[in-house]
Amino acid sequence: MLATAMTMLVAFVPIGAGATTPAKNTVDVIFDSSLTDTMAVLATDFHKATGLSMLQTAGESAVDAKDLAGKTTVQDVFVSEGAVAVKSLEVKNNGSLVSWYAQFGATPLLLAYNPKSKFAKDLRTMPWYKVVTMKGFLLGRATPDTDSSGTLAVVALDATGKNEHLLALSKLATSKTDIYSEADLVTRLQQGHLAAGFFYGVDAATEGFKTVPLASVNLAAPYMITILRNSAHEGAAVTFVKFLLRSSTASIFGKGGVIEKSPPILTGKATAVPPPLRSLVS
């Protein structure tokens, strides 16, 4: 994910939060930085609805988990991209900070395109897998080693190539000439050096890219949420998670490129989930 390339944790204080805000009226939320814009909107609505303030910390999920395990940061709620980071906090060596987590949404892998490209109309009217193999089409994807969208792009190309019997797609899946860093991929698409590139919905929404769905494949990165065992504001944390999981919040995430998972899928024992939230997860 583009936004998850951040390695420094940055704190954001929304409207309604400040130095004079009593700690009991605050919930500390650490989340994957791909959700920064969405969480800013959510924080404002949350404060208006509950009177509680949300202190936001954004960073790459793997780094967030490491800081939580090392007690570099102490938070109430963790929102992770993928299950690996949050699952790592279940183990005793990392403090057993997590006993349950729920997938509440996912961001799909999409094909973003430059609207000024000569292939733009074709992408809007024809199957994407036929257009990307046209002569002169320049396609990009993120480096698989540093961005999971790059890994899923390979899966999409390879699987579709086999399903549609298009050898050209399989060749694109193994090509090394169409791989770029996250920032370079964005710049190249914006400047028209690429006709299209693979992006997660959250990243495409942040950049304002036009997109087309990847028909015949359904690939996405999931988002997980949990309340950490050492939460200092458990009551506020429960209120926040309940607010995030309400159906009306889906539109906020939708605008940010996240598709709601309803009901959220629980991992862990239901008895570990705070009672007020048990009816909201399955």
Q: What is the mean pLDDT of each run of 10 residues along the chain (282 residues)?
A: 43 40 78 94 96 94 94 94 94 92 97 98 97 96 87 95 93 90 94 97 96 93 96 96 92 95 94 95 84
- Which residue bears the tokens 């429960």? 238
95 with 120, same domain?
A: no
72 with 113, same domain?
A: no
Q: What is the dihedral of CA 17, 22, 27, 30, to 10 degrees?
A: 70
What domain range is 194 assigned to? 107-213
248 with 260, same domain?
A: yes
Whether 97 and 177 have beta carbons less than 8 Å apart is answered as no
93 with 112, same domain?
A: no
191 with 265, same domain?
A: no
pTM reported for the whole predicted model:
0.85
pLDDT in the model for residue 18: 40
pLDDT in the model for residue 2: 52
Whether 104 and 261 have beta carbons less than 8 Å apart is answered as yes
pLDDT in the model for residue 84: 94
- Label residue 117 left, alpha or beta by phi (over 0 means left) and psi (-120 to 50 means alpha): beta
Residue 154's CATH number: 3.40.190.10
> Which of 213, 244, 267 marks a domain boundary?
213
26 with 102, same domain?
A: yes
131 with 198, same domain?
A: yes
pLDDT in the model for residue 7: 35
pLDDT in the model for residue 23: 60
92 with 114, same domain?
A: no
pLDDT in the model for residue 233: 95
Taking the C-alpha atoms of residue 52 and residue 68, their distance in angstroms, rounded to an integer, is: 23
86 with 29, same domain?
A: yes
Taking the C-alpha atoms of residue 245 and residue 231, their distance in angstroms, rounded to an integer, is: 19
> Which of 213, 234, 256 marks a domain boundary?
213
Q: How many domains does the chain have?
A: 2
Please list, residue by residue across 98-137, b when 16 or more beta carbons sit within 10 angstroms of its beta carbon and e when fewer do.
Answer: bbbbbbbbbbbbbbbbbeebebbebbeeeebbebbbeeeb
33 with 119, same domain?
A: no
